Structure 1
Amino acid sequence: MSPMKQVWCFFAIFFISMISAAQNKDEADLIIYAHALKKGLYKSFEEFQTNNPSGEGDLVIKNRSSAAQIYLLANRNELVMRDAAGQEHKIKNYWGYCDGQYIYIKDNGLNKIEPAGYYCIYELRGVQPSRGYYNQADMTVNSISTPVRLKKVINIITGEILELSAYNLKKYILPQDKDLLEEFRRDNARKDQLEYYIDQFNQRNKPVFQ
């Protein structure tokens, strides 16, 4: 090999190594690969994605009663910050929160996320009033509160959030894994195993930055 070719070969190997190292660093930054969670406020999806909260302070999740959720049309909880005097101030603009042990996304209140892989699952909870019933004892009409639960998934690369449903699995998630999609189509009980297919997808597919 001529000296000129040797030089070009050296630079080609060098640049390929640099690109590979940068890619591996980016992948290692994903929160699903973190050895420890950093406590604080996520002001954006990217801060959650890379385990890098930028908001600090005495942050506390405050729960609301079922009555408050129904009659005030309020979320089931909210995030507040306590100042040095002990006064609580509501946090308005943020994406999520980490208490150092668990991660919460802001979606109709704060909901715990399981950072398990390519798609992370969380459950949205709340209560809503249903039809009233007549109480013969005191001749009043009382309302019944109905718990509401809805599971969602979030793509750790794009931040896209989808309801965890058979339609969304078949339409948007599993087409990225054709063998798993075919298994899903043949499964007569698939509607009862939605989380199983998310878990299988996460095990079979490694998220990487594009």
Structure 2
Amino acid sequence: MKILLLFIASFFFLKSDKQEYIVDKEVVLKPGFYRDFQEFKTNSPSVAFNNSPLTTVTKGYGFLNATGEVVYYRVSMEKSLARKIGNVYGFCDGKSIYLNPEISVFRPNMKFSKLDYLGRYCYFEDLMYKSVPTGNGMASNTYLAEKALDINTGEITILSKKTLKEIIAKDAALLEDFTNETKKNKVLKDYLISYSDKHINEISRL
């Protein structure tokens, strides 16, 4: 009888002690600031968000910045409060998740990218810069970077035809469909999400 009671107690302890993950089905997002990737992955922000208001900054990219736009988010906060937060990986307002994966000391003008998809691979958009030759020397060109965050490792990959093929390589059917696509650069996000949905069971529980 004692052994049975001990087993039951252990079962309920393990069940209640089960780690929650940000990608779990029906997870309730906890508002707050994430200091690192692990806090983000485990839905456990360690610094309170306190309903701080958000502002947006829109940046254009491409020729004359007219090809498209990316929206960044900033947290409005007094400098005295901002200094107390320290290093920040991202934050959640209780509804959406915003990341700045470079991890640096929080400041009120820090820009965050909003996650457009949360799964085996998370998706968000960012801007990248590269120098291009001109008749008068070199100029900086801005372009869209579609990024995939590996929920197992925290590694971020800039999506391209090559890198997407590497991600979906284990899914022969999906890879074949992508190979037959005529405008591959237009559907990188779609295939990343399709792979993530089909392979949600590959998420590491460590």
- TM-score bucket of the superposed structures, by smaller chain: 0.5 to 0.7
Map of 1:95 onto structure 2:
89
1:156 is matched with 151
Q: Is the 8 A contact 1:60 1:79 kept in 2?
A: yes
2:191 corresponds to 1:197: yes
Distance 2:129 2:58 in 1: 10
With structure 2 as the length reference, what TM-score do the two structures score?
A: 0.63
The CA RMSD over aligned residues, in Å, is 3.8
| Matches of 1:44 and 1:116, distance apart in 2 | 17
CA contact (8 A) 2:57 2:73 kept: yes
Deviations 1:75-119 (A, max 9, x none): x65445448xxx553555111101111100015720101343111
Tell me which moved more, 95-104 or 108-117. Answer: 108-117
Give the deviation of 1:151 after TM superposition. Answer: 1.6
* Residue from 115, 124, 144 that aligns with 1:113: 115
Amino acid aligned to 2:178: F
Relative to structure 1, is the Cα distance of residues 181 and 126 closer, same or farther in structure 2, using a 3 angstrom cutoff?
A: closer
Instruction: Tell me which amino acid in the other structure corresponds to 2:190.
Output: Y
CA distance in 2 between partners of 1:179 and 1:57 (Å): 43
* Aligned partner of 2:178 among 180, 184, 206: 184
1:22-53 deviations in Å (ceiling 9; x for gaps)? 8xx45xx2212243210001011111111111
Q: Separation in 2 of the partners of 1:104 and 1:65?
A: 15
Between the aligned residues of both structures, percent identity stands at 29
More displaced 10-residue stretch of structure 1: 151-160 or 104-113: 104-113
Aligned residues: 167
Change (3 A) 1:62 1:127: farther
What are structure 1's unaligned runs of at least 5 residues? 1-13, 67-75, 132-144
Q: Is the 8 A contact 1:57 1:81 kept in 2?
A: no
CA distance in 2, matches of 1:94, 1:196: 29
Displacement of 1:147 in angstroms is 6.5
Indicate how the Cα distance of structure 1 residues 65 and 162 shifts in structure 2: closer, same or farther if over 3 A, else same. Answer: closer
Pairing 1:209–2:172 present:
no
